Protein backbone atom coordinates (compact mmCIF):
# COMPACT_ATOMS: atom_id res chain seq x y z
CA UNK A 1 0.00 0.00 0.00
CA UNK A 2 1.16 3.51 -0.89
CA UNK A 3 -0.29 6.79 0.35
CA UNK A 4 -0.45 10.20 -1.34
CA UNK A 5 -1.27 13.04 1.08
CA UNK A 6 -2.72 16.24 -0.39
CA UNK A 7 -2.41 19.41 1.68
CA UNK A 8 -2.19 23.14 0.97
CA UNK A 9 0.98 23.66 3.04
CA UNK A 10 4.35 21.93 3.37
CA UNK A 11 4.96 23.35 6.86
CA UNK A 12 2.87 23.59 10.01
CA UNK A 13 0.56 26.62 9.83
CA UNK A 14 -2.20 25.31 12.08
CA UNK A 15 -3.77 22.21 13.55
CA UNK A 16 -4.93 20.66 10.29
CA UNK A 17 -1.50 20.80 8.65
CA UNK A 18 0.12 19.55 11.85
CA UNK A 19 -2.09 16.46 11.61
CA UNK A 20 -1.35 15.97 7.90
CA UNK A 21 2.42 16.16 8.39
CA UNK A 22 2.45 14.06 11.56
CA UNK A 23 0.44 11.34 9.84
CA UNK A 24 2.79 11.42 6.84
CA UNK A 25 5.81 10.88 9.07
CA UNK A 26 4.02 8.25 11.16
CA UNK A 27 3.05 6.26 8.07
CA UNK A 28 6.61 6.47 6.76
CA UNK A 29 7.91 5.18 10.07
CA UNK A 30 5.58 2.19 9.70
CA UNK A 31 7.29 1.38 6.42
CA UNK A 32 4.75 2.79 3.96
CA UNK A 33 5.83 4.85 0.97
CA UNK A 34 4.25 8.29 1.27
CA UNK A 35 4.14 11.19 -1.17
CA UNK A 36 3.30 14.58 0.34
CA UNK A 37 1.82 16.77 -2.40
CA UNK A 38 1.61 20.44 -1.41
CA UNK A 39 1.34 23.89 -2.95
CA UNK A 40 2.65 26.43 -0.42
CA UNK A 41 6.22 26.28 0.89
CA UNK A 42 8.68 26.33 2.43
CA UNK A 43 9.03 22.65 3.30
CA UNK A 44 9.34 21.94 7.02
CA UNK A 45 12.94 20.93 7.83
CA UNK A 46 11.89 17.74 9.64
CA UNK A 47 10.35 16.42 6.40
CA UNK A 48 13.51 16.71 4.31
CA UNK A 49 15.32 13.43 3.64
CA UNK A 50 12.90 11.46 5.82
CA UNK A 51 12.94 7.74 4.89
CA UNK A 52 10.03 6.60 2.67
CA UNK A 53 8.83 10.19 2.15
CA UNK A 54 8.74 11.99 -1.20
CA UNK A 55 7.82 15.67 -1.13
CA UNK A 56 6.28 17.63 -3.98
CA UNK A 57 5.89 21.33 -3.23
CA UNK A 58 4.88 23.71 -6.01
CA UNK A 59 6.03 26.81 -4.06
CA UNK A 60 2.90 28.75 -4.94
CA UNK A 61 1.48 31.63 -2.89
CA UNK A 62 -1.48 31.05 -0.65
CA UNK A 63 -4.48 32.53 -2.50
CA UNK A 64 -5.23 34.86 0.42
CA UNK A 65 -1.74 36.37 0.21
CA UNK A 66 -1.36 36.59 -3.55
CA UNK A 67 -1.18 40.30 -4.49
CA UNK A 68 -2.63 39.44 -7.90
CA UNK A 69 -6.24 39.08 -6.77
CA UNK A 70 -7.58 38.01 -10.15
CA UNK A 71 -5.05 35.20 -10.30
CA UNK A 72 -5.82 34.23 -6.72
CA UNK A 73 -9.56 34.02 -7.37
CA UNK A 74 -9.00 31.90 -10.47
CA UNK A 75 -6.49 29.63 -8.74
CA UNK A 76 -8.82 29.14 -5.79
CA UNK A 77 -11.36 27.67 -8.17
CA UNK A 78 -8.95 25.68 -10.33
CA UNK A 79 -5.25 25.45 -9.60
CA UNK A 80 -4.05 24.50 -13.08
CA UNK A 81 -0.38 23.80 -12.19
CA UNK A 82 -1.47 21.59 -9.27
CA UNK A 83 -3.87 19.66 -11.49
CA UNK A 84 -1.14 19.13 -14.11
CA UNK A 85 1.51 18.01 -11.63
CA UNK A 86 -0.87 15.73 -9.74
CA UNK A 87 -1.96 14.16 -13.04
CA UNK A 88 1.68 13.36 -13.77
CA UNK A 89 2.15 11.88 -10.31
CA UNK A 90 -0.93 9.67 -10.48
CA UNK A 91 0.01 8.38 -13.93
CA UNK A 92 2.76 6.32 -12.31
CA UNK A 93 0.60 4.89 -9.50
CA UNK A 94 -1.72 1.89 -9.23
CA UNK A 95 -5.25 2.75 -7.98
CA UNK A 96 -5.55 -0.77 -6.54
CA UNK A 97 -2.62 -0.16 -4.20
CA UNK A 98 -2.66 3.61 -3.60
CA UNK A 99 -4.73 5.71 -1.21
CA UNK A 100 -5.08 9.46 -1.79
CA UNK A 101 -5.74 11.31 1.47
CA UNK A 102 -6.93 14.92 1.27
CA UNK A 103 -6.49 17.22 4.26
CA UNK A 104 -6.76 20.89 3.17
CA UNK A 105 -7.46 22.35 -0.26
CA UNK A 106 -9.16 25.76 0.15
CA UNK A 107 -6.01 27.88 0.61
CA UNK A 108 -4.20 26.80 -2.56
CA UNK A 109 -4.89 23.31 -3.90
CA UNK A 110 -8.47 23.94 -5.17
CA UNK A 111 -11.39 21.49 -5.56
CA UNK A 112 -10.31 20.49 -9.10
CA UNK A 113 -7.14 18.90 -7.77
CA UNK A 114 -9.12 17.26 -4.99
CA UNK A 115 -11.50 15.39 -7.33
CA UNK A 116 -8.80 14.44 -9.83
CA UNK A 117 -7.72 11.34 -7.92
CA UNK A 118 -11.25 9.99 -7.55
CA UNK A 119 -11.97 10.52 -11.24
CA UNK A 120 -8.88 8.51 -12.09
CA UNK A 121 -10.08 5.62 -9.95
CA UNK A 122 -8.04 6.22 -6.81
CA UNK A 123 -9.77 5.83 -3.43
CA UNK A 124 -10.07 9.28 -1.84
CA UNK A 125 -10.06 9.78 1.93
CA UNK A 126 -10.93 13.25 3.29
CA UNK A 127 -10.26 14.44 6.83
CA UNK A 128 -12.81 17.08 7.80
CA UNK A 129 -10.64 19.57 9.70
CA UNK A 130 -13.18 22.31 9.00
CA UNK A 131 -16.65 22.66 7.49
CA UNK A 132 -15.66 23.65 3.92
CA UNK A 133 -16.90 20.36 2.47
CA UNK A 134 -20.42 21.67 3.22
CA UNK A 135 -20.41 25.36 4.25
CA UNK A 136 -19.13 28.00 1.77
CA UNK A 137 -17.41 30.01 4.51
CA UNK A 138 -16.17 26.94 6.35
CA UNK A 139 -17.61 27.68 9.78
CA UNK A 140 -21.45 27.71 9.88
CA UNK A 141 -21.04 31.14 11.46
CA UNK A 142 -22.57 34.57 10.87
CA UNK A 143 -19.54 36.79 11.34
CA UNK A 144 -21.44 40.07 11.28
CA UNK A 145 -23.96 38.91 13.86
CA UNK A 146 -21.51 36.84 15.89
CA UNK A 147 -23.92 33.91 15.89
CA UNK A 148 -24.13 30.32 14.73
CA UNK A 149 -25.60 29.83 11.26
CA UNK A 150 -28.46 27.39 10.74
CA UNK A 151 -29.04 27.94 7.02
CA UNK A 152 -28.84 24.92 4.78
CA UNK A 153 -25.64 25.33 2.73
CA UNK A 154 -26.25 26.81 -0.73
CA UNK A 155 -29.94 27.41 0.03
CA UNK A 156 -31.46 30.80 -0.83
CA UNK A 157 -31.07 31.84 2.79
CA UNK A 158 -27.41 30.84 2.73
CA UNK A 159 -26.58 32.56 -0.56
CA UNK A 160 -28.38 35.79 0.37
CA UNK A 161 -26.83 35.99 3.84
CA UNK A 162 -23.96 38.47 4.23
CA UNK A 163 -22.07 36.30 6.72
CA UNK A 164 -18.49 36.40 5.43
CA UNK A 165 -15.67 37.80 7.54
CA UNK A 166 -14.61 40.13 4.69
CA UNK A 167 -17.55 41.25 2.57
CA UNK A 168 -20.53 39.97 0.60
CA UNK A 169 -18.54 39.87 -2.65
CA UNK A 170 -16.09 37.44 -1.06
CA UNK A 171 -19.02 35.40 0.23
CA UNK A 172 -20.39 35.10 -3.32
CA UNK A 173 -17.00 33.92 -4.58
CA UNK A 174 -16.99 31.26 -1.87
CA UNK A 175 -20.52 30.26 -2.86
CA UNK A 176 -19.31 29.88 -6.45
CA UNK A 177 -16.44 27.68 -5.27
CA UNK A 178 -18.78 25.48 -3.23
CA UNK A 179 -21.23 25.15 -6.14
CA UNK A 180 -18.30 24.11 -8.31
CA UNK A 181 -16.99 21.73 -5.64
CA UNK A 182 -20.25 20.07 -4.60
CA UNK A 183 -22.73 20.44 -7.46
CA UNK A 184 -20.56 20.41 -10.58
CA UNK A 185 -17.47 18.41 -9.57
CA UNK A 186 -19.49 16.50 -6.93
CA UNK A 187 -16.51 16.12 -4.63
CA UNK A 188 -18.39 14.78 -1.57
CA UNK A 189 -20.03 11.97 -3.56
CA UNK A 190 -16.66 10.82 -4.91
CA UNK A 191 -15.06 10.40 -1.49
CA UNK A 192 -14.38 6.83 -0.36
CA UNK A 193 -14.23 7.64 3.35
CA UNK A 194 -14.69 10.73 5.52
CA UNK A 195 -12.70 11.13 8.72
CA UNK A 196 -14.03 13.52 11.35
CA UNK A 197 -11.88 15.02 14.09
CA UNK A 198 -14.80 14.99 16.55
CA UNK A 199 -18.22 13.43 16.67
CA UNK A 200 -19.70 16.88 17.33
CA UNK A 201 -18.36 18.45 14.13
CA UNK A 202 -19.22 15.36 12.11
CA UNK A 203 -22.81 15.58 13.34
CA UNK A 204 -22.99 19.23 12.21
CA UNK A 205 -21.98 18.18 8.69
CA UNK A 206 -23.68 14.79 8.50
CA UNK A 207 -27.05 16.06 7.13
CA UNK A 208 -25.20 17.47 4.10
CA UNK A 209 -22.84 14.55 3.41
CA UNK A 210 -23.64 11.68 1.03
CA UNK A 211 -25.24 8.87 3.02
CA UNK A 212 -23.39 6.17 1.08
CA UNK A 213 -19.90 7.34 2.13
CA UNK A 214 -18.56 5.68 5.30
CA UNK A 215 -17.40 7.95 8.11
CA UNK A 216 -15.10 7.59 11.11
CA UNK A 217 -13.83 9.78 13.92
CA UNK A 218 -10.11 9.43 14.59
CA UNK A 219 -8.30 11.27 17.35
CA UNK A 220 -5.74 13.78 16.17
CA UNK A 221 -2.10 12.97 16.95
CA UNK A 222 -0.61 14.87 19.88
CA UNK A 223 2.73 14.06 21.46
CA UNK A 224 3.31 15.06 25.07
CA UNK A 225 5.69 13.75 27.68
CA UNK A 226 3.77 12.78 30.78
CA UNK A 227 4.52 14.90 33.83
CA UNK A 228 2.73 15.14 37.20
CA UNK A 229 -0.55 17.08 37.00
CA UNK A 230 -0.46 20.82 37.59
CA UNK A 231 -1.41 21.92 41.10
CA UNK A 232 -4.32 24.00 39.86
CA UNK A 233 -5.73 24.61 43.34
CA UNK A 234 -2.66 26.71 44.10
CA UNK A 235 -3.03 28.76 40.88
CA UNK A 236 -5.25 31.75 40.20
CA UNK A 237 -5.05 32.52 36.47
CA UNK A 238 -7.76 31.85 33.90
CA UNK A 239 -6.17 31.37 30.49
CA UNK A 240 -7.32 31.76 26.88
CA UNK A 241 -5.20 30.20 24.12
CA UNK A 242 -5.82 30.97 20.44
CA UNK A 243 -6.44 33.68 17.89
CA UNK A 244 -7.77 36.88 19.36
CA UNK A 245 -10.87 37.07 17.17
CA UNK A 246 -14.57 37.48 17.91
CA UNK A 247 -15.50 34.01 16.65
CA UNK A 248 -12.95 32.51 19.03
CA UNK A 249 -14.67 34.24 21.95
CA UNK A 250 -11.75 36.51 22.84
CA UNK A 251 -13.94 39.51 23.64
CA UNK A 252 -16.33 37.27 25.57
CA UNK A 253 -13.46 35.93 27.68
CA UNK A 254 -12.18 39.41 28.45
CA UNK A 255 -15.59 40.68 29.52
CA UNK A 256 -16.25 37.63 31.69
CA UNK A 257 -12.93 37.90 33.53
CA UNK A 258 -13.74 41.52 34.36
CA UNK A 259 -17.25 40.64 35.56
CA UNK A 260 -15.87 37.80 37.70
CA UNK A 261 -12.91 39.85 38.92
CA UNK A 262 -10.42 37.07 38.15
CA UNK A 263 -6.94 37.38 36.57
CA UNK A 264 -7.09 36.65 32.84
CA UNK A 265 -4.27 35.75 30.47
CA UNK A 266 -4.30 35.72 26.67
CA UNK A 267 -1.88 33.45 24.81
CA UNK A 268 -2.16 34.30 21.14
CA UNK A 269 -2.64 37.23 18.82
CA UNK A 270 -5.14 38.46 16.25
CA UNK A 271 -7.27 41.29 14.93
CA UNK A 272 -8.63 42.16 18.38
CA UNK A 273 -5.28 42.43 20.17
CA UNK A 274 -4.99 46.22 20.03
CA UNK A 275 -8.64 46.79 21.00
CA UNK A 276 -8.54 44.33 23.88
CA UNK A 277 -5.30 45.79 25.26
CA UNK A 278 -6.91 49.22 25.22
CA UNK A 279 -10.27 48.17 26.68
CA UNK A 280 -8.96 45.61 29.21
CA UNK A 281 -5.59 46.88 30.49
CA UNK A 282 -5.84 44.63 33.55
CA UNK A 283 -5.42 41.47 31.40
CA UNK A 284 -2.05 39.93 30.55
CA UNK A 285 -1.19 39.48 26.86
CA UNK A 286 1.57 36.98 26.11
CA UNK A 287 1.30 36.97 22.30
CA UNK A 288 2.10 33.82 20.35
CA UNK A 289 4.35 31.40 22.19
CA UNK A 290 6.23 28.26 21.23
CA UNK A 291 4.62 24.96 22.32
CA UNK A 292 6.92 24.51 25.31
CA UNK A 293 6.30 28.13 26.36
CA UNK A 294 2.53 27.60 26.12
CA UNK A 295 2.76 24.66 28.48
CA UNK A 296 4.80 26.72 30.93
CA UNK A 297 2.23 29.51 30.78
CA UNK A 298 -0.61 27.04 31.23
CA UNK A 299 1.07 25.68 34.33
CA UNK A 300 -0.03 28.85 36.18
CA UNK A 301 -3.71 28.30 35.33
CA UNK A 302 -6.58 27.54 37.67
CA UNK A 303 -8.48 26.67 34.48
CA UNK A 304 -8.36 26.95 30.71
CA UNK A 305 -11.28 28.83 29.16
CA UNK A 306 -12.49 27.74 25.71
CA UNK A 307 -15.32 30.14 24.74
CA UNK A 308 -15.75 30.03 20.93
CA UNK A 309 -18.85 31.63 19.43
CA UNK A 310 -18.73 29.20 16.51
CA UNK A 311 -18.80 25.42 16.64
CA UNK A 312 -15.08 24.65 16.16
CA UNK A 313 -14.28 21.15 14.93
CA UNK A 314 -12.18 20.06 17.88
CA UNK A 315 -10.38 22.42 20.27
CA UNK A 316 -6.95 20.83 20.64
CA UNK A 317 -5.91 23.16 23.46
CA UNK A 318 -8.62 21.62 25.64
CA UNK A 319 -7.04 18.19 25.16
CA UNK A 320 -3.58 19.62 25.86
CA UNK A 321 -4.82 21.20 29.09
CA UNK A 322 -6.35 17.87 30.14
CA UNK A 323 -2.97 16.18 29.61
CA UNK A 324 -1.55 18.62 32.18
CA UNK A 325 -4.36 18.13 34.70
CA UNK A 326 -5.91 21.53 34.00
CA UNK A 327 -9.72 21.66 33.89
CA UNK A 328 -11.44 23.54 31.07
CA UNK A 329 -14.50 25.76 31.07
CA UNK A 330 -16.05 25.35 27.62
CA UNK A 331 -19.07 26.59 25.70
CA UNK A 332 -21.91 24.07 25.78
CA UNK A 333 -22.34 24.39 21.98
CA UNK A 334 -18.86 23.62 20.70
CA UNK A 335 -16.91 20.53 19.67
CA UNK A 336 -14.91 20.46 22.91
CA UNK A 337 -17.99 19.00 24.61
CA UNK A 338 -16.98 15.72 22.98
CA UNK A 339 -13.95 15.59 25.26
CA UNK A 340 -14.95 17.59 28.33
CA UNK A 341 -17.75 16.17 30.45
CA UNK A 342 -19.61 18.76 32.49
CA UNK A 343 -18.96 18.44 36.24
CA UNK A 344 -16.56 15.54 35.59
CA UNK A 345 -13.50 16.75 33.64
CA UNK A 346 -14.51 20.39 33.32
CA UNK A 347 -17.44 22.78 33.29
CA UNK A 348 -19.84 24.05 30.62
CA UNK A 349 -21.22 27.56 30.35
CA UNK A 350 -24.13 28.81 28.26
CA UNK A 351 -22.96 29.51 24.73
CA UNK A 352 -22.08 33.18 24.23
CA UNK A 353 -23.13 34.20 27.76
CA UNK A 354 -20.81 36.50 29.70
CA UNK A 355 -22.70 36.05 33.01
CA UNK A 356 -22.69 32.26 32.67
CA UNK A 357 -18.95 32.14 31.96
CA UNK A 358 -18.22 34.57 34.80
CA UNK A 359 -20.25 32.37 37.17
CA UNK A 360 -18.18 29.29 36.32
CA UNK A 361 -14.93 31.24 36.74
CA UNK A 362 -16.07 32.44 40.16
CA UNK A 363 -16.97 28.90 41.15
CA UNK A 364 -13.46 27.63 40.43
CA UNK A 365 -11.87 30.69 42.02
CA UNK A 366 -13.88 30.27 45.22
CA UNK A 367 -13.70 26.48 45.33
CA UNK A 368 -10.13 25.34 44.59
CA UNK A 369 -11.11 21.82 45.59
CA UNK A 370 -13.46 21.69 42.59
CA UNK A 371 -10.66 22.79 40.26
CA UNK A 372 -8.42 20.09 41.75
CA UNK A 373 -11.05 17.37 41.36
CA UNK A 374 -11.88 18.31 37.77
CA UNK A 375 -8.23 18.66 36.80
CA UNK A 376 -7.33 15.26 38.24
CA UNK A 377 -10.21 13.64 36.34
CA UNK A 378 -9.17 15.35 33.09
CA UNK A 379 -5.61 14.13 33.61
CA UNK A 380 -6.76 10.52 34.12
CA UNK A 381 -9.04 10.74 31.08
CA UNK A 382 -6.19 11.81 28.81
CA UNK A 383 -3.48 9.46 30.06
CA UNK A 384 -5.77 6.44 30.12
CA UNK A 385 -5.75 6.66 26.30
CA UNK A 386 -3.18 9.24 25.08
CA UNK A 387 -3.67 10.83 21.66
CA UNK A 388 -0.44 9.55 20.17
CA UNK A 389 0.73 9.56 16.57
CA UNK A 390 1.03 5.78 16.83
CA UNK A 391 -2.67 5.46 17.72
CA UNK A 392 -3.68 7.90 14.97
CA UNK A 393 -1.68 6.08 12.30
CA UNK A 394 -3.00 2.69 13.42
CA UNK A 395 -6.59 3.89 12.89
CA UNK A 396 -5.69 5.39 9.51
CA UNK A 397 -4.22 2.09 8.37
CA UNK A 398 -7.43 0.32 9.41
CA UNK A 399 -9.42 2.72 7.21
CA UNK A 400 -7.03 2.40 4.26
CA UNK A 401 -6.94 -1.38 4.37
CA UNK A 402 -10.72 -1.62 4.66
CA UNK A 403 -11.12 0.57 1.56
CA UNK A 404 -8.68 -1.48 -0.52
CA UNK A 405 -10.24 -4.74 0.66
CA UNK A 406 -13.67 -3.45 -0.24
CA UNK A 407 -12.48 -2.51 -3.71
CA UNK A 408 -10.77 -5.84 -4.30
CA UNK A 409 -13.78 -7.87 -3.15
CA UNK A 410 -16.96 -6.88 -5.03
CA UNK A 411 -19.08 -8.85 -2.55
CA UNK A 412 -18.29 -6.16 0.04
CA UNK A 413 -19.44 -3.23 -2.07
CA UNK A 414 -22.70 -2.93 -0.17
CA UNK A 415 -21.03 -3.10 3.21
CA UNK A 416 -20.70 0.04 5.30
CA UNK A 417 -17.12 -0.03 6.52
CA UNK A 418 -17.38 2.83 8.98
CA UNK A 419 -15.06 2.52 11.94
CA UNK A 420 -16.93 3.35 15.16
CA UNK A 421 -16.56 6.81 16.65
CA UNK A 422 -13.87 6.72 19.30
CA UNK A 423 -15.09 7.08 22.84
CA UNK A 424 -14.38 10.49 24.35
Q: Give the Cα separation of 327 and 293 in Å (integer).
A: 19
- State the helix-helix crossing angle for 316-323 and 368-384, rounded to 10 degrees: 100
pLDDT (0 to 100) of residue 362: 98
3-class DSSP state of 383: helix
Q: Please give the average pLDDT of every successive group of 10 residues along the chain, which has 424 residues.
A: 97 92 97 98 95 97 93 94 97 96 97 93 97 97 95 97 95 97 97 97 96 95 92 98 96 98 97 97 96 94 98 95 98 97 98 98 98 98 96 97 87 48 46
pLDDT (0 to 100) of residue 283: 98
Whether the CB-CB separation of 267 and 292 falls below 8 Å is answered with no
3-class DSSP state of 336: helix
Q: Give the Cα separation of 355 and 350 in Å (integer).
A: 9
3-class DSSP state of 74: helix
3-class DSSP state of 99: strand
pLDDT (0 to 100) of residue 418: 47
Q: Any idea where the domains of the chain sit in the sequence?
A: 2-133+187-221+390-412, 232-384
Whether the CB-CB separation of 10 and 43 falls below 8 Å is answered with yes
At the top level of CATH, the class of 232-384 is: alpha beta
Indicate if the alpha-carbon torsion angle 36, 103, 244, 359 is positive or negative. Answer: negative
Angle of CA points 367, 371, 376, to nearest 5°: 145
pLDDT (0 to 100) of residue 413: 47
pLDDT (0 to 100) of residue 232: 98
At the top level of CATH, the class of 2-133+187-221+390-412 is: alpha beta
Which region holds residue 315: left if phi is over 0, alpha if psi is between -120 and 50, else beta?
left
Q: Give the Cα separation of 387 and 423 in Å (integer).
A: 12
Amino acid sequence: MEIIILNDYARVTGGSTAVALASALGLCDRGFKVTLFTCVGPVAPNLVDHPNLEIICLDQPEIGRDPNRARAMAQGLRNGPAVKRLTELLAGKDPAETIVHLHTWTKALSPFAAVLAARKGFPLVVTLHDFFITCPTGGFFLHRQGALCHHRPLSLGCVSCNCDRRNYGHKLWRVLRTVLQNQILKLPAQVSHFIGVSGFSLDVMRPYLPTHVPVSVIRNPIEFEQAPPVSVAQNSDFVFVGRLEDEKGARLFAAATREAGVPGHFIGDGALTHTLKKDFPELVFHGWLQPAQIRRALSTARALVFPPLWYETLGMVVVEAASMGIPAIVSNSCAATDFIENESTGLYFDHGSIPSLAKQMLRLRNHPEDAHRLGQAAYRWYWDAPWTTEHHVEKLIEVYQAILERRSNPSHLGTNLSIPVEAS
